[in-house]
Amino acid sequence: MVMGRFKHFIAELLCGLALILLVHAQDQSDFVSLDCGFPENSSYTEWKTGVGYISDAGFIDSGINRQISTEFKGDLQQQLWSLRSFPEGIRNCYRIKIMQGTKYLIRATFFYGNYDGESKLPEFDVHLGANMWGTIKITNVSISFVKELIHVPSLNYIQLCLVNTQRGTPFISAIELRPLPNSTYVTTDGSLERLWRVDVGSESNIQYRCKFDVYDRMWWPFNFREWTGLSSSLTIESPSSNPYRPPSVVMSTAATPINDSAPLEFHLEPEDVTAKHYIYMHFAEVVKLKANQSRSFNVILNGKHWYGPYVPKYLWTTTLYSKDALNSTGGQYFFSLVKTENSTLPPIINAIEAYSVKNLLQSETDQEDVGAITKIKSTYGVKRNWQGDPCAPQTYSWEGLNCSYDGYNAPRVISLNLSSSGLTGKISADISNLVMLQCLDLSNNSLTGLVPDFLSQLQYLTVLNLERNQLSGSIPTELLERSKNGSLLLSVGESSNFCGSGSCKKKKNIVMPVVASTGGFFIISLTVAAILWVLRRRKQQHKAQEDTKPNVQNPSLESIQRQFTYSDVQRITNNLERAIGKGGFGTVYHGCIDDTQVAVKILSPSSFQGYQQFEAEVKLLLRVHHKNLTSLIGYC
């Protein structure tokens, strides 16, 4: 009796040592384990799994730390006690550095736990980079929602985004990334989203993961009423030729039909019947067969022979799978394991994995553009919800950005509007790296210094607005030339201390739309009416001025006629709809004031010499009046 107890003790000790050695053999250096909502700069080791977690605070700029209700903690693993919720913003994104080209198991876990005390189960979307990953629909306050994807990122980082779809506040409990051998879960195209990963014949009803699984996959217990369980207390080996390495504790249990002559059957009914799938079946013999016993069977899929005959090896794992993706028949996969004629024992199975092919087709924004706009954000401290991919998906592109889209090719930034964004300092050189930029609006900020030459190198730039800043010096000659030839709409504003490309004398530089009636040989009857109105008004104004002020020989533009706002000009010209001419000063547009047709001449902001001539022409119209000359109505 004593000897028996001693042997039992030795066996338990050796088993315990084997487990300890297994745990120490697991290298977590490449694991990424984020406890979302955990206090910043904090970390811990989860005692059940031995996984070390850190706070997610360094991987995202938004969200609120919350705790689930105490009543739901119970036996939950610690990483589910806290969470990060996102009551503000449409899209909130994590940015996590990884090893580019490495295959990862990406796991996102959501445990509601009535953290907000409202017992309202939310629904929201999750994106991976520029692509929709899926919808998270919480259906139970005390059950976690676990989403997994096997994916090879094309960049050296991934972005996981929570998207508010107006059906509740998004939140997340944990993010985990686990590197996998590139020889595992190989697909002809796309990534793999987990549908099923089950420990068949489990007798403990326990979910196994790290400490048992070297890749930290989660295995859920699974049984069926027409099956009976088999098990072994011995270690089930996975040979080096089998990189999938399902854990021994999972492979040590198996299921077999209750009726020895019956096939072992199971089926899978995916939600998306059009999707392609990969299915992995893991086998190991857990019973030491006698000399007169044998176990051999064929695998039938949807009524067709798929593999076999197969003989499972004793305490040795074999994984069966198809190298090509499977297509369902009638929306389901029906597997039947049928013993061969010479087999004395029914078929068995130990573990099953099923994945659907997930095509993440939308490319992220061109990386040069991403680098440039990210540096611009950092340089100016842009106070906008600039998270995730700048351009994709198009619905959630960054505020102030417009991008070009060419199918699934990388989007490019073509327009940047940072007007009224509180920018200070010089114009950032990082803008020059947005090489496809067509429109740049930096107006109404506090930018200082010179207008840099690199703006001239943006060959596709057609609109440049620098109004209402504190810029000074001369504008690059090429920008002026492009403005003069009409290829660039350049706006520099009234308050800027600019000078021409030659000598640098301080000059007042404004954009001056002038509204005049279309006189002369244009519509004469309407013109005469406008002139009479203008002349009568001018005589009244002139008489009033003579009574109170000395004679002004060279009146300023601000003292003449009627002043219009720019919005008035847009209304008068129907948003500059019809251009009727173009001269040295700029473009002339057709418009209407009440029933009077007018011409609106807009001075080019970069025409410094032109402004003096323009002003002289306007003052001439004030002093000289003739029925065949255009009458001035007002200015802006």
Give the pLDDT score at 629.
54
d(CA 171, CA 184): 31
SS3 11: helix
Contact 92, 62 (CB under 8 A): yes
Token pair recorded at residue 621: 């119209």
Contact present, 493 and 518 (Cβ < 8 Å): no
User: The whole model's pTM is what?
Assistant: 0.75
Q: Which amino acid is at 458?
A: L
Residue 109 · residue 192 · CB < 8 Å: no
What CA–CA distance (Å, rounded) separates 68 from 107?
20
Residues near 378 by beta carbon (within 8 Å), at least 6 away in sequence:
none
Alpha-carbon gap, residue 124 to 166, rounded angstroms: 8
Residue 588's pLDDT is 81
Residue matched to tokens 């009146």: 555
Flag residues of the chain having pLDDT under 50.
1-25, 495-496, 501-503, 505-560, 606-609
454 CB-contact burial (10 Å; exposed 0-12 / middle 13-18 / buried 19+): middle
Please give the Cα distance from 532 to 524 (Å, whole number). 12
- CA dihedral over 202, 219, 34, 69, signed as positive or negative: negative
Strand partners, 270: none
Nearest to 74 by CA among 142, 10, 19: 142
Q: Give the span between the Cα atoms of 385 and 23, in whole angstroms.
A: 42
User: Which two structure tokens, joined as six digits, stand for 491?
Assistant: 């706006």
CB 211 within 8 A of CB 173: no
> How far apart (Å, rounded) are the C-alpha atoms in residues 104 and 93?
19
